[in-house]
Amino acid sequence: MLKKPWLQWTLAVVVTLISAIYQRRTGPTYPVRGSVELGGETVAYKLLRTHSITGRQPVTVTVADTAVQGVVEWRRYPTNEPWRVLAMSRSGAELSTALPPEPEALMPMAGKLEYRVRLIRDRTQVVFPAQAAVTRFKGDVPTWILIPHVAAMFFGMLFAMRALFAAVGGGDSRRWAFVTTALLLFGGFVLGPIVQKYAFDAYWTGVPFGYDLTDNKTLIAGVAWILAAWRLRGGRDAKTAIVVATVVTMVVFAIPHSMWGSQAKW
């Protein structure tokens, strides 16, 4: 059954989409979501964890009860500075403010803040999230470089899965292995550093210069596929190498994006 090309493509697409969604939702830049109860009202919240250095990050909570007031407690991360308190202003059902507050200077590339929201109604208050949200500020990456980078990495994963199912079920795994290698090398080692430079003013922050897991997992996946391509030279059979390279890629790409990423020093 697995020998059918349409089934191999279907499985490859499904696994790739699941992997991409998992990475997006588990990464440290995905908004913190939840809800709390205050004064008999359920207050849902969504707190951002990434923003452009060209502006201040909004902090907004919708609370219909006009008796509720709010403040944001924040500090630079990682520091042991005392928490600073920033009042939220009300406009209809919305309480809002922005970080960092004026007259603070705008954030540097890779600068981080941690913050939490405190809502107060009479003598009752709630604080969320339980663990303060950490937000990172980044430079703006032009779409002409960001879209090709994301596309190359996504399709690299897609063709890696296609190569795996062809190697296991039968088919031209060589073709997909070479396409995978080319896409991952181009997306991860050519476009990736350019994206990193625009966003955090550094071309590479993985080994041997740092511990950025995004860069390091790209390095591991790239090496795995280079070895697989080397095994394929001269028409040699490399099904085992393709399977190993794909499994390595799946494992490293299961690590949430931007973990241990660039971080400004305070």
CATH number at residue 109: 2.60.40.10
Number of compact structural domains in the chain: 2
Task: Inform me whether the pLDDT recorded for 102 exceeds 70.
Answer: yes
Tokens of 175: 């073709």
Q: Tokens 């970080």 identify what position?
A: 99
Q: Residue 200: inside a domain, yes or no? A: yes
- Residue ending a domain, choose from 138, 160, 176: 138
pLDDT in tens, 2-29: 789 999 999 999 999 999 888 888 888 8
- 130 and 149 share one domain: no
pTM (2 d.p.): 0.87
Residues 116, 202 within the same domain: no
Residue 258 lies in a domain: no
Amino acid identity for residue 230 in this structure: W
Q: Give me the pLDDT at residue 131, please.
A: 95
Last residue of a domain, one of 138, 156, 178: 138
Is the Cβ–Cβ distance between 158 and 13 less than 8 Å? yes
Do residues 114 and 88 share a domain?
A: yes
Length of the chain, please?
266
Burial, 129: exposed, middle or buried (Cβ in 10 Å; 0-12, 13-18, 19+)? middle
Q: What is the pLDDT of residue 58?
A: 97
- At 199 the pLDDT is 95
- For residue 233, what pLDDT is reported? 77
Task: Judge if 164 and 236 occupy the same domain.
Answer: yes
Is 263 a member of any domain? no
67-77 CB burial, b ≥16 within 10 A, e <16: ebbbbbbbbbb
Tell me whether residue 215 is in a domain.
Answer: yes
Owning domain of residue 246: 5-27+141-253
> Which of 120, 138, 156 represents a domain boundary (last residue)?
138
Burial string for 3-18 (b: 16+ CB within 10 Å, else e) reads eeeeebeebbeebbee
Same domain flag for 187 and 129:
no
**Quick check: 173 and 167 in contact, CB under 8 A?**
yes
Q: What percent of the chain has pLDDT over 70?
A: 96
Q: For the residues 132-159, what does the mean pLDDT come to?
A: 96
